Structure 1
Amino acid sequence: MIQKPYLKAFPDAKGYFGKFGGAFLPPELEEQFKKIEEAYLTIGNSHNFIRELRDIRKHYQGRPTPVYYARRLSEFIGGARIYLKREDLNHTGAHKLNHCMGEALLAKYLGKKKLIAETGAGQHGVALATAAAYFGLECEIHMGEVDIAKEHPNVVRMRVLGAKVVPVTFGAKTLKEAVDSAFVAYLKDPENSIYCIGSVVGPHPFPMMVRDFQSVVGIEAREQFFEMTGNLPDNLVACVGGGSNAMGLFSAFIDDPCEMYGVEPGGKGTKLGEHAASLTYGSEGILHGFNSIMLKNEAGEPAAVHSVASGLDYPSVGPEHAYLNSIARTKVGIANDAETIQAFYDLSHYEGIIPALESAHAVAFAMKLAKEKPYESILVNLSGRGDKDIDFVVANYKPEDYM
């Protein structure tokens, strides 16, 4: 019997990566999600769809994004050679547009009129608002009040692009609650709208769809790195909240002899509510329609979480990350708030690249890993730029303290 390649074998027909994944849906959404799955597997694999998406990638998004050797940062650390996959140079400033354009294109083929989504740091919201403008669709973005205040530049961008930004005022008023709110809005009119999930989370088929749309990152990076060096990278590093940028990078290297590190937000401590490190401290549970590893409180409900990066402020993780970690194909890294802020400034000072706080987690861990592996190469997915974070960082962490 011929064994399928990993990406063809996972997820299975019911959307599972091992025991993780699936689709735990209210009855009124089961038919809609089945239609989305069928459309993705048929329309999404048609030559017309693929040709149109490739044209968008090249002529609108500005792909491929480059791989860049961070020479000065590497010399400063005195360890391994650090390379960056520059997703911050993707149109809208982050990797999120990779799957948003794919989801919106699928929505167009399905005859949908409205895109609905959640956002934490605002990058997914900006990307989806951009896709909606490109295709002439309505757009509604749900965002926690805490994140609206923290990520004001992205809120402005969404509104300028024509999206309706819905403030979420209940619970912790961050990413989890934004997902809850967006699902409720989608339930009101699933026939004319589509919920464009912002990461490799949610009910099947979204973890698979988002991974596949994001795989362009890994496909490009693998070819580019080999062309630059004649080798594959020894180590891959990417931040993980839900984990879309990490799966985008990892997907092309799963069958290669590379170490892969998903970096979780260590926040400000190890107690529940002080971090958002699901794989490190969590246990199996169902949230937002999928089974994965999640942080729980004493009542077994999703726990309060914290991260300096709004886009990582989520109490669970994509089911594929849970699976790959369970079979020891990936390793978990940790970067706390203090390390992340230092990495934010170090990359800015030594390379002239201001990273998103989410991406700065990956840079922070790569800087630690570089000292442990001085003769190896590290490829970091620099998933976004830090324009959205500058006001917050400077107001709370003065630049002169990090020189």
Structure 2
Amino acid sequence: MKKPYLDSMPDANGFFGKFGGAFIPPQLEKPFQDINEAYDKLSKSFEFLDELKKIRKHYQGRPTPITYCKNLSDFIGGGQIYLKREDLNHTGAHKLNHCMAEALLAKYLGKKKLIAETGAGQHGVALATAAAYFGLECEIHMGEVDIAKEHPNVVRMQILGAKVVPATHGLKTLKEAVDSAFDAYLKDTDNQLFAIGSVVGPHPFPKMVRDFQSVVGIEAKEQFFEMTGKLPDMVTACVGGGSNAMGIFSAFIEDSVKLYSVEPAGKGSNIGEHSASLTYGSEGVMHGFNSIMLKDSEGNPAPVHSIGSGIDYPSVGPEHAYLNSIGRTSIGLCSDDEAVDAFYKLSQHEGIIPALESAHAVAFAMKYAKENPKESILVNLSGRGDKDIDYIVENYPIPLKDI
């Protein structure tokens, strides 16, 4: 019998077709092999899985619900929009789903410290939370630009006991934060675990983070069927690295459900004005994995932009590249202005303030609903917008509620 998709992808070397793998310096080969072997063992361990299940139920507050957006759907006058409410997960985003699991893995490996990158700060907050829970040290690398933009999350990380290290080179955003974290991890691979924050990086992280995030899709599929008696016509999520999208997509890959990856179109199609890797990129290796990436004229990672700090990354998870290459997923685009509009509309019509990253998926769902009035649309609302409200009100005037 044919293996289910999630059991057959990636292959033993971490490849999804030609994407993925582990392109790393020799000194990292043994640490990443140890992580892979430990994950293979723990992913089949009842003790590990049972502890994770209890943490998710009694600490994270899972399962998160699905909310039907009747007001927004009526306002649009098109398809019916539903939200998978990862904004109600503890710490306010989907990131804790894999951070608690990565911290548990670190304890098994005897590590004393968690180290990671963050863009919008949601991964940093989640990892700092996990470190506090398990009694581990925590160091978060964050671009200097994002530190200023996402100040509330920086304070949260520090309150939780994490050390926040600014990345001061290049564009001083997410890509540079990853560079900085890798450099710090290389200095002590024995005592630290680099807890990568998305379905990116060398094998086994794209697989491991997808598997830890698959709880989102498992819950959503069951909940939506219970609510409506059928599966959604379309599922959508924002994609930077792509952990929240792979989490919800994973349950629907083998079903006849349309899957849309929403990329940040930023403020234009020129290099440096967007972060739409799948739309404008080409094959290339960055941060230890082969995928689709945005490149400058010399073939190096291109400068990128998005109003959503968590999705301004010049590449995309290798599984997203693979699924798009075989036609299983489609691409949606959302500009900065469209994301802000969706941010306000969801807030004012439903009383739900979304993260700017998640607002990209909401904006695309609103456009799609207008064009497909008979369809049901499930959006992964990957995070809440507390972190973004200061930036938004300072730069985008609050509009009057639409009538």
Match of 1:355 in 2: 354
Separation of aligned partners in 2, 1:222 and 1:43: 25
Counterpart mapping for 1:294-309 below 5 A: 294-309=293-308
Counterpart mapping for 1:136-285 below 5 A: 136-285=135-284
**Contact 2:267–2:274 under 8 Å retained in 1:** yes
Question: Aligned letter for 1:326?
Answer: S
Match of 2:81 in 1: 82
**CA shift for structure 1 position 400:** 2.7
Separation of aligned partners in 2, 1:218 and 1:138: 31
Cα separation, partners in 2 of 1:402 and 1:338, compared to 1, 3 Å: farther
**Contact 1:44–1:106 under 8 Å retained in 2:** no
**CA shift for structure 1 position 402:** 7.0
Separation of aligned partners in 2, 1:108 and 1:222: 32
Question: Aligned letter for 1:343?
Answer: A
Separation of aligned partners in 2, 1:35 and 1:129: 23
**Deviation digits for residues 162-198 of structure 1, max 9, x if unmatched?**
0000011010000000000000000011011100000
**Contact 2:348–2:401 under 8 Å retained in 1:** no
Counterpart mapping for 1:366-385 below 5 A: 366-385=365-384
**CA shift for structure 1 position 401:** 6.5
Separation of aligned partners in 2, 1:401 and 1:290: 46
Q: What is the alpha-carbon root mean square deviation over aligned residues? A: 0.7
Separation of aligned partners in 1, 2:8 and 2:340: 39
**CA shift for structure 1 position 385:** 0.1
SS in structure 2 at match of 1:186: helix
Where does the alignment leave 5 or more consecutive residues of structure 2 unmatched? none
Separation of aligned partners in 2, 1:137 and 1:50: 20
**Deviation digits for residues 204-237 of structure 1, max 9, x if unmatched?**
0000000000000000000000000000000001
SS in structure 2 at match of 1:400: coil
**Contact 2:82–2:377 under 8 Å retained in 1:** yes
**Deviation digits for residues 40-79 of structure 1, max 9, x if unmatched?**
0002320000000000000000000000100000000000
Separation of aligned partners in 2, 1:52 and 1:158: 24
**CA shift for structure 1 position 20:** 0.1
**CA shift for structure 1 position 287:** 0.3
Separation of aligned partners in 1, 2:183 and 2:215: 31
SS in structure 1 at match of 2:43: helix
Mapped pair 1:101 → 2:100: yes
Structure 1 residue ranges (4+ consecutive) displaced by more than 3 angstroms after TM superposition: none
* Aligned residues with identical type, % of pairs: 75
**Deviation digits for residues 232-277 of structure 1, max 9, x if unmatched?**
0000010000000000000000000000000000000000100000
**Contact 2:52–2:101 under 8 Å retained in 1:** yes
Question: Aligned letter for 1:309?
Answer: G
Question: Aligned letter for 2:267?
Answer: K
Separation of aligned partners in 2, 1:97 and 1:400: 33
Q: TM-score, normalised by structure 2?
A: 0.99
**Contact 1:342–1:402 under 8 Å retained in 2:** no
Mapped pair 1:116 → 2:115: yes
Separation of aligned partners in 2, 1:401 and 1:271: 32
Separation of aligned partners in 2, 1:328 and 1:90: 31
Match of 1:68 in 2: 67
SS in structure 2 at match of 1:237: strand
Question: Aligned letter for 2:54?
Answer: D
**Contact 1:308–1:357 under 8 Å retained in 2:** yes
Match of 1:125 in 2: 124
Separation of aligned partners in 2, 1:325 and 1:6: 15
Q: TM-score, normalised by structure 1?
A: 0.99
Mapped pair 1:42 → 2:80: no
**Contact 1:344–1:360 under 8 Å retained in 2:** yes
SS in structure 2 at match of 1:14: coil
Q: Aligned pairs, how many?
A: 402
Match of 1:13 in 2: 12
Separation of aligned partners in 1, 2:401 and 2:395: 12
Question: Aligned letter for 1:376?
Answer: E
